[in-house]
């Protein structure tokens, strides 16, 4: 007689109590995996940091605080109106100065507006380099402008010689191509403390001497100096020894360049506003375009 085996009850399929358990385990496993994905860091993308900001034409996440003239308005009261008065016909070459706080610059727009020269911040102290330097320095050149580079001085942090070396090695060089201006030493009010960097007049003068001597040894050119008359008087005792060699760039937001520091009978550049079109800082070269080309050629 055949062996009888117990079968399933009517209407109930085998393993009906196992499948719901398997489904529940699978669901719990999926939810655990999803939670893990949410907390793990994702891969780095190109859309982060200063490089992405540069690609989008935006300033970096931590914008630069120091640039040519960034301390002038807070220390020196501009005359009225804030802009140049009648410009002599032989001093009508328009220029701009830029740094990383400007981001990517619309050079073709500036060229179309009449701008013919540009200075770009290259360095500060012995550690900072402008992340937008290539777009700004090469972009102005490619637009047809005569271009140059400048260094924002931090005299209390390192020697003039060390900062001149750093500048010359990171964009402040010079070549006789007819389109490159000599480098500029930006020496203005201390943006982070004592107006004169906690240094005496003789210490600051010697610091500048070391910078100029080293820059000349590195490039063969005498650097331009950007400084205000008020700062120069207060912090160097109105030293007159650089006027015969180093061209002067004077900031004064008003109708004229005004009084010059001792030793200079005329200015070479005049920063006449920090609220100009496209980029804030606009300048005039004190001569014809031919003379600007001569300065570039040394």
Q: Is 97 a catalytic residue?
A: yes
Torsion sign across C-alpha atoms 259, 263, 267, 271:
negative
All residues at 6 or more sequence positions from 224 whose CB lies less than 8 Å from its CB, including other chains: 148, 181, 182, 183, 184, 185, 246, 247, 248, 249, 268, 269
Q: Is 188 a catalytic residue?
A: yes
**Can you tell me the distance from the alpha carbon of 298 to that of 293, in angstroms, rounded to the nearest whole number?**
9
Q: Where are the beta strands (DSSP E) in the chain?
A: 93-98, 115-124, 128-129, 146-152, 184-186, 224-226, 248-251, 269-273, 282-285
Q: Is 82 a catalytic residue?
A: no
Which of 54, 124, 186, 222 is the catalytic position? 186
**Can you tell me the distance from the alpha carbon of 230 to that of 258, in angstroms, rounded to the nearest whole number?**
11
Respond yes or no on whether the N-terminal peptide bond of residue 34 is cis (omega within 30° of 0).
no
Which of 54, 94, 124, 188 is the catalytic position? 188
> For residues 163 and 209, is the Cβ–Cβ distance under 8 A?
no
Which of 53, 76, 97, 165 is the catalytic position? 97
| Angstrom distances, CA of residue 4 to CA of 7, 118, 248 | 9, 102, 114
The residues assigned a catalytic role are: 97, 186, 188
């Amino acid at each position: 007689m055949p062996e009888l085996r117990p079968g399933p009850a009517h209407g109930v399929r085998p393993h009906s109590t196992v499948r719901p358990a398997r489904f529940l385990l699978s669901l719990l496993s999926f939810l655990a995996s999803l939670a893990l994905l949410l907390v793990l860091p994702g891969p780095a993308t190109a859309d982060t940091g200063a490089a992405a900001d540069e690609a989008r034409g935006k300033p970096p996440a931590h914008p630069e605080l120091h640039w040519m003239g960034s301390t002038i308005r807070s220390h020196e009261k501009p005359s009225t109106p804030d802009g140049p008065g009648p410009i002599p016909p032989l001093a009508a070459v328009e220029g701009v100065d830029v740094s990383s706080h400007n981001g990517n610059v619309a050079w073709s727009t500036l060229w179309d507006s009449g701008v013919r020269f540009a200075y770009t911040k290259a360095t500060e102290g012995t550690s900072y380099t402008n992340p937008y330097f290539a777009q700004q320095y090469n972009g102005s050149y490619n637009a047809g402008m005569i271009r140059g580079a400048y260094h924002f001085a931090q005299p209390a942090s390192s020697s003039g010689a060390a900062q001149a070396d750093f500048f010359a090695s990171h964009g402040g060089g010079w070549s006789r191509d007819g389109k490159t201006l000599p480098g500029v030493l930006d020496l203005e009010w201390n943006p982070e403390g004592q107006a004169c960097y906690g240094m005496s007049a003789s210490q600051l003068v010697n610091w500048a001497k070391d910078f100029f001597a080293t820059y000349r040894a590195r490039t063969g050119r005498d650097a331009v100096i950007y400084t205000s008359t008020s700062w120069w008087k207060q912090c160097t005792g109105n030293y007159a020894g650089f006027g015969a060699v180093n061209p002067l760039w004077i900031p004064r937001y008003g109708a004229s360049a005004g009084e010059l520091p001792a030793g200079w009978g005329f200015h070479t550049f005049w920063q006449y506003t920090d609220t100009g079109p496209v980029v804030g800082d606009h300048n005039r070269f004190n001569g014809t375009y031919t003379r600007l080309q001569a300065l570039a050629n040394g």
